[in-house]
Amino acid sequence: MSHQALYRKFRPKTFDDVLGQEHVIRTLKNQIKTDNIAHAYLFSGIRGTGKTSTAKIFSRAVNCLNNHDGNPCNECEICKSILDETNMDVIEMDAASNNGVEDIRELRDKVNFLPVKSKYKVYIIDEVHMLSKGAFNALLKTLEEPPEYLLFILATTEPQKIPATILSRCQRFDLKRINTSVIVESMKKICEEIGVEYDEKALKLIASNSEGAMRDAQSILDRCLSFNNNEKVDYETVIDLLGTVNYQVILEAANCIVSRDIKNTMILVDNILNEGKEVSIFLDELIICFRNMLIIKTTNSTDNLMRISEEESEDIKRLSSKISVDEIVRIIEELSVTQLECKRALNSRVILETRLIKMLHSINNADEIMNKIQELENSFKNNSIPVKQATADIKRASIKDDEKKPSIVINKMPEQTISESYETQKSTEPEQSSGNSENKSDEAIYNAIMNGWQTILKKIRSENAGLQAIIRESQLCEVSNKKAVFEFDPKFTFHISAANQPKNRQKFKEVLSSFLNEECEVEFIIKGEEKPKSSLPAMEDVYEDLKNEFGEEIVEFKQED
């Protein structure tokens, strides 16, 4: 006897054999048991989920002479004739090759004949979405007013292409993708029935690559059996036949990326591609690896991981502890863009290597920048402590001894020294409440603008949408003496010119001052230009501030020669 494909040999014979579609099977069985049969059904879903198999089972069940709990007996004369495809009352039609108006007209003429020996005359039309517009119109009348003995079962992978007039006359059932664990259990039973050894890891890899289609999984299994002469289904065989990359190699590549190891990443890529693996498949596996990492990192669960075993999930968990969620998301986005570019490139290897090096190099640069920022923050904190302490000591002295008040002498010093001391003291003062906005420091203004930038843009948009489109391309770089300086990238030449027009700058100043509850000047520059220098505070201004803080009677202005 010639070889029969596994998906045909193990095709479901009863409703109970159909896996992963309980929501459909239960409804159909109840309709059969209560004799509540509709005249037209539509089964939709991706390939290999059981649409045609369910239709054939249903055609036997409605005509079966010895129905058992809604299932066909497959032993009576009617069931056997339908299984042997000798029953003239059950007609299967492929709409992909019989999609013309004449084909449907011929069908419409034949439906007027009564069933020969069955209760129902059943038409199973596969891939019905491929019928032409004229064919759908010809079918519509028959679906609208069918004879009581006529039953239509339509199957399609693309229900959105079927006219609404046809859909509205059918009972629609959407068959979903089959769970990976269900597919694995099914393949285990097949291997045990035919006496073949298997690695569970290999079956899981097959199920993952079938993408929820039972027929695809059985076809891959069939190829593996042929490769090993029906002796064993092992992991390496599945990898070779599918062209995928060993998951341990993928984990090693992911570890190199997480560790920012450009050299070893390039060595791994070279080894993988030299083995003949496809760039797109390698990237797909790598993206899924980081996706699994993201799931573990955000949910602390391994329930929804893809294409890995329980042992490998522990490796993923350890790897995810070395990287943040934001970094994982950024890497997934970068790899996805790389995959898209590689599919369109003439030399995908060059694109892959270039993008990986760029991604890892940018990560290293980002770390260096963050370290420098941290150093600057620590330095700033260390420098601000003595000034705070000095101010606190002066205040305590002024409260402790009212009769003998301390004298603060302002000596003539170089302007730069006075400025640094004054600015340091001002930066350590607590921010004033919004009710005393005139004392708001430059730092407070800077923070207020940065935190409320989206609110400011919305306010500008409500008054001048065109100005908002210009301003949103700018970025606040500093606030000096209550003047906010915004910079544009050099490529936005039109924007910088438009923003500096007097009416636009005045409007932006009004909106910004209103938001801050304080007058604030604005200035626009091109990124890279020298920013406006902060004017140093005059000695008289320092004297006025200290006098207001500690009282005129304890502050003395002394001019040195």
Do 60 and 93 contact (CB within 8 A), yes or no?
Answer: no
Strands 475-480 and 483-488: antiparallel
Distance between CA atoms of 83 and 13, rounded to whole angstroms? 9
User: In Å, how far are 46, 102, 141, 429 from 136, measured between CA atoms?
Assistant: 22, 11, 9, 79
Contacts of 60 (CB under 8 A, 6+ apart): 72, 74, 78, 79, 82, 83
What is the band of 379 on the pLDDT scale with cuts at 50, 70, 90? low
pLDDT at 22: 92
Q: Judge whether residue 131 has pLDDT over 70.
A: yes
pLDDT bracket for residue 397 (50, 70, 90): very low
Answer left, alpha or beta for residue 404, where phi above 0 means left and psi between -120 and 50 means alpha. beta
Strand partners, 68: 71
Section 547-558 average pLDDT: 58
How far is residue 238's CA from residue 555's CA, in Å, rounded to a whole number?
A: 87
CATH of 247-364, one of 3.40.50.300, 3.90.78.10, 1.20.272.10, 3.40.50.720: 1.20.272.10
Structure tokens that stand for 276 in this block: 């003949």
| Structure letter (DSSP) for residue 126 | E
3-state class of 148 per DSSP?
Answer: coil
- Output b/e per residue, 497-528; b: 16+ Cβ within 10 A: ebbeeeebbebbbebbbebbebebebbbbeee
Band (406; pLDDT cuts 50, 70, 90)? very low
The token pair at 274 is 């030299």
Average pLDDT over residues 308-326: 82
Closest by Cα among 464, 465, 466, 484 to 476: 484
**If DSSP codes are grouped into helix, strand and coil, which group holds residue 402?**
coil
Pick the more confident residue, 347 or 551: 347
Token reading at 302: 């391994």
Nearest CA-CA partner of 490 in 475, 479, 505:
475
Taking the C-alpha atoms of residue 523 and residue 533, their distance in angstroms, rounded to an integer, is: 12
Stretch 100-128: mean pLDDT: 89
Query: Which phi and psi (to 5°) does residue 542 adopt?
Result: -65, -45
Residue 355 has pLDDT above 80, yes or no: yes
Q: Which pLDDT score is estimated for 535? A: 46
pLDDT on residue 531: 52
Q: Which residue has the higher pLDDT, 98 or 336?
A: 336
Cα first-last separation, the chain: 117
Contacts made by residues 144-150, CB under 8 angstroms, sequence distance 24+: 144/169, 146/39, 146/40, 146/111, 147/111, 147/112, 149/114, 149/115, 149/119, 149/120, 149/121, 150/39, 150/111, 150/120, 150/121, 150/123
pLDDT surpassing 50 at residue 421: no
pLDDT in tens, 532-546: 444 444 555 555 655
pLDDT for residue 129: 92
Please check whether the two domains, 6-174 and 403-526, share a CATH topology: no
Q: What pLDDT, on the 0 to 100 scale, is given for residue 433?
A: 36
> For the chain, what is the mean pLDDT?
81
d(CA 306, CA 291): 9
Burial 284-312, CB ≥16 within 10 A → b, else e: bbbbbbbbbbbbbbeeeebeebebbeeeb
Q: What is the pLDDT of residue 557?
A: 56
Q: What architecture (CATH level 2) is domain 6-174?
A: 3-Layer(aba) Sandwich (3.40)
Q: What is the DSSP string of 270-307?
A: HHHHHTT--HHHHHHHHHHHHHHHHHHHHH---TT--S
Tally Cβ neighbours within 10 Å of residue 70.
Answer: 21
| Helix count and strand count (H, E) for the chain | 24, 12
Helical residues (DSSP H) of 401-464, grouped into ranges: 415-428, 442-451, 453-463
Please provide residue 551's backbone torsions phi and psi, each rounded to the nearest 5 degrees: 100, 140
Tokens of 556: 């003395």
Residues 396-400 have a mean pLDDT of 42
Q: Distances in Å between the alpha carbon of 203 and those of 183, 240, 287, 489?
A: 9, 14, 21, 54
What pLDDT score was predicted for residue 329?
92
Token pair belonging to 91: 């007609």
Residue 558: what pLDDT? Answer: 59
The domain locations on the chain are 6-174, 180-242, 247-364, 403-526
Q: What is the pLDDT of residues 422-477, one digit of tens each?
A: 444 444 444 433 334 445 788 888 888 888 888 898 888 888 877 888 888 888 88
Taking the C-alpha atoms of residue 146 and residue 274, their distance in angstroms, rounded to an integer, is 62
**Bridge partner list, 487:** 475, 525
* pLDDT of 53 above 70: yes
SS in 3 state form for 58-116? Answer: HHHHCCCCCCECCECCCCCHHHHHHHCCCCCCEEEEECCCCCCHHHHHHHHHHCCCCCC
pLDDT tens string 202-247: 898 898 888 889 999 999 999 999 888 777 888 888 888 887 788 8
- Whether the predicted pLDDT of 390 surpasses 50: no
Considering only CA atoms, give the Rg of the chain: 38
The helix (H) or strand (E) run that includes residue 521 is strand 521-526
548: confidence class by pLDDT, cuts 50, 70, 90: low
The CATH class for the domain spanning 403-526 reads alpha beta
Helix (H) / strand (E) containing 408: strand 408-410
The residue with tokens 């009352």 is 89
CATH, domain range 180-242: 1.10.8.60
How far is 46 from 20, CA to CA, in rounded Å?
Answer: 13
pLDDT digits (tens, 9 = 90+) for 134-158: 889 888 888 888 888 999 999 999 9
pTM, 2 dp: 0.59
Closest CA to 244 of 210, 214, 267: 210
Instruction: Render pLDDT for 262-294 as a digit per residue (tens, 0 to 9).
Output: 999 999 999 888 888 888 889 998 999 999 899
- pLDDT value, residue 286: 92
DSSP state of 483: E
Structure tokens that stand for 227 in this block:
């490769």
